[in-house]
Structure 1
Amino acid sequence: MTTTRMLASKVPEVTLYFWIIKILGTTVGETAADALNVDLGFGLTRTTLVVGIMLAAALIYQFTLRRYVPWIYWLVVILISVAGTLITDNLTDNFGVPLATSTGFFTAGLILTFAAWYISEGTLSIHSIRTRRREGFYWLAILFTFALGTAAGDLVAEQIELGYLTSALIFAAIIALVAAAHYALRLNAVLAFWIAYIVTRPLGASIGDYLTQDKTAGGLGLGPTLVTAVFVIAIVGSVAYLSITKADVIDTTVDNPDAKDAARA
């Protein structure tokens, strides 16, 4: 059998650490946008510009790397999380686009991204992120999941008026059901991952809003700046731990990463 040495994976292994940091990061995406926009007085337009520049710089550096580096990977995730919130906020506040419309638009964009990715590469597995083209599809999909999650979370919590805490519980229950379907019913691993990944965004958005919004609006009134600071500290600590232990590093040499994923699924 012929084996091929592959480039090191550009993304982390999916472990408990991954999901913890992901949920923390999605919450920061919601609260940091509000902290910059409102608490620090940047305004929506200036906040969007600053975050856009930071995201572009982080992505450029991420693409120059040949392997997964925890701090820059998670920095990109957090910045995309903030950007996803700002995209939805701009559409809603500056252009008057209804949340239902933006939710549908981002859903279509995500489906088209997945379709193009699969047609081009034959897989949607994150274990196959070993080329720049696949990494490009990966980050585009991530952007759509964050924008979609923000719109869907606001739609459920505010427009449908279920409230932030109830919305968070609903999204958490969906993730639990997906996990149960994967482990008990052998739901395809790649499909289960992406469903859970998408739903963690509205979960984080609902948690962020519940913690920061005024009590009169159904929140705890802790404020976006305080919540952002606490969650960022938790993320930095977690990423530092992973950087030292390498607990989330995927093996850099495998015979066939796509076949490996198929076997896991």
Structure 2
Amino acid sequence: MDITTRTLNKVPEVTLYFWIIKVLCTTVGETAADFLNVNLGLGLTNTTLVMGALLIVVIYAQFRARRYLPAVYWLAVVLISIVGTLITDSLIDNFGVSLEVTTVMFGVALALTFATWYASERTLSIHTIYTMRREAFYWLAILFTFALGTAAGDLAAEQLGLGYLPSAIIFAVLIAIVAGARFGLRANGVATFWIAYILTRPLGASLGDYLAQPTEDGGLGLGTVATSGLFLATILVFVSYLAVTRRDAIEATA
């Protein structure tokens, strides 16, 4: 497919379902990465390679699709959430890069992605993801939001000592402020969408850690297996509903 070939819009409408599934995916990204790395004993490097390979396969299917397919799209989000977490963890654990540096590094990478995307397409709107080039920018931005959110969430909860639940509450309040700016003050829709999208990652990561981590570490002690299974099952229910009803499908616009 040519990078300028038009298709139907390849991403879902931003509804309440979108935000619920997005937070669930971010939580799974945090807990599933820990489960594969630690509980199954794959190790950080092997887990990253395996999940990276799976992500490439699913992203290929997403690019080949001619319209938005809920199952393919949200599977890609789950996998990119896991891979984003693993990239950040690899930099910290394998290469000794600090949380402060990784947070700044991925923040800069995301900013450069947005700048290049806008310079090329003159828009960052997700309502116009109907060419391969725009879709490539979209998924690259999402990868960096997940990596950035993982680093920022761990920085707040662990490095700054705020704890998992307080960190989740702080990020939830920030998202509520962004929502208030959008709907109360009529702030720019594209800007507020991406700010909220970025903030949902550390929210989900902090929530996942709070549920999964042992009580002595400030969590509820549910473990990564139970937490990942619960959230994956919930994602499956929502995505199945959307696949049948198509309530979040949108057409491409100019």
| Shorter-chain TM-score range | over 0.9
Give secondary structure in 2 for the equivalent of 1:96: coil
Please list the CA deviations of residues 25-77 of structure 1 after superposition, one character each: whole Å capped at 9, or x if unmatched.
00000000011111111111111111011001001111111110000000000
The 1-side partners of 2:160 and 2:126 are apart by 34
Residue correspondence of structure 1 range 66-81 to structure 2 within 5 A: 66-81=66-81
Alignment partner, residue 117 of structure 1: 117
Q: Which runs of 4+ in 1 moved over 4 A?
A: none
Q: Which amino acid aligns with 1:114?
A: F
Alignment partner, residue 236 of structure 2: 236
Give secondary structure in 1 for the equivalent of 2:162: coil
Does 2:52 correspond to 1:39? no
Number of matched pairs = 249
The 1-side partners of 2:30 and 2:235 are apart by 15
How far residue 251 of structure 1 moved from its aligned partner, in angstroms, is: 2.6
The 1-side partners of 2:57 and 2:231 are apart by 23
Alignment partner, residue 261 of structure 1: none
Give secondary structure in 1 for the equivalent of 2:247: coil
The 2-side partners of 1:214 and 1:230 are apart by 17
Does 2:137 correspond to 1:137? yes
Aligned residues: CA RMSD: 0.8
Please list the CA deviations of residues 206-234 of structure 1 after superposition, one character each: whole Å capped at 9, or x if unmatched.
00000011111100111001100010000
Q: What is the TM-score when the length of structure 2 is the normalising length?
A: 0.97
Alignment partner, residue 177 of structure 2: 177
The 2-side partners of 1:90 and 1:125 are apart by 31
Q: Which blocks of at least 5 consecutive residues in structure 1 are unaligned?
A: 1-5, 257-265
How far residue 7 of structure 1 moved from its aligned partner, in angstroms, is: 2.6
State which structure, 1 or 2, has the greater radius of gyration over its C-alpha atoms: 1
Q: What is the TM-score when the length of structure 1 is the normalising length?
A: 0.93
Alignment partner, residue 63 of structure 1: 63
Give secondary structure in 2 for the equivalent of 1:146: helix
Instruction: Work out the percentage of aligned pairs sharing the same amino acid.
Output: 63
Does 2:97 correspond to 1:101? no
